[in-house]
């Protein structure tokens, strides 16, 4: 859960990625919306969710939208997680004590936010949330003036929700 709801303003943050580059919410919003996915590497629901986030990133990521995985683990474990679950978008490290996660009032992961260019939260997904992930994909497709592609394949057994 989180104390940030749809319609609220997302708290700003500035975090380093695995390669040491600094990313800020304010800087990312200058080029478009931001998908911020908070996670822990040991979380089975995070492990289940990230391949679907990668699908959204591959389809709609780019110059006009930023995707960030925000890890509550160290760089080595986070790098392994990104490799194991084929996440190619930037992985940011929420330092010891989790100041950014705490600023968002997180009590579980994964928690995923779609944040608009004015810092307004458009979508919040707590745990694995099929409808929430589809809402993010549909919003990003609409912004690109594209028809949304199916996020989930017909032969995949995907639950509507898995709590984190």
Is residue 131 in some structural domain?
Answer: yes
Average pLDDT, the chain: 96
Domain count, the chain: 1
Please say whether the beta carbons of 123 and 134 come within 8 A.
no
pLDDT above 80 for 1: no
Containing structural domain, residue 41? 23-144
pLDDT above 90 for 96: no
Look at residue 74 in the predicted model and tell me its pLDDT.
Answer: 97
Helix (H) or strand (E) holding 103: helix 99-103
Length of the chain in residues, anyone? 164
48: region left, alpha or beta (phi > 0 left; psi from -120 to 50 alpha): alpha
pLDDT above 80 for 64: yes
Is residue 95 in some structural domain?
Answer: yes
Is residue 133 in some structural domain?
Answer: yes
User: Does the CA dihedral 53-54-60-63 come out positive or negative?
Assistant: positive
158: region left, alpha or beta (phi > 0 left; psi from -120 to 50 alpha): beta
Q: What's the pLDDT tens digit per position in 111-159?
A: 999 999 999 999 999 999 999 999 999 999 999 999 988 999 999 999 9
- CATH number of the domain to which 133 belongs: 3.40.30.10
Is residue 68 in some structural domain?
Answer: yes
């Amino acid at each position: 859960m989180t104390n940030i709801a749809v319609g609220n303003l997302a708290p700003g943050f500035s975090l380093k990625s695995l390669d040491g580059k600094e990313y800020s919410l304010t800087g990312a919003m200058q080029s478009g919306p931001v998908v911020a996915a908070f996670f822990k590497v040991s979380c089975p629901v995070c492990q289940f969710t990230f391949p679907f986030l990668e699908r959204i990133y591959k389809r709609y990521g780019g110059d006009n939208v930023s995707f960030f995985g925000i890890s509550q683990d160290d760089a080595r474990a986070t790098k392994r997680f990104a490799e194991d679950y084929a996440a190619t978008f930037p992985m940011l490290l929420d330092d010891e004590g989790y100041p950014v996660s705490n600023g968002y009032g997180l009590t579980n992961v994964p928690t995923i936010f779609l944040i608009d260019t004015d810092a307004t939260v458009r979508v919040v997904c707590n745990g694995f949330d099929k409808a929430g992930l589809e809402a993010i994909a549909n919003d990003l497709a609409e912004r690109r003036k594209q028809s949304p592609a199916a996020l989930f394949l017909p032969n995949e057994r995907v639950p509507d929700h898995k709590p984190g």
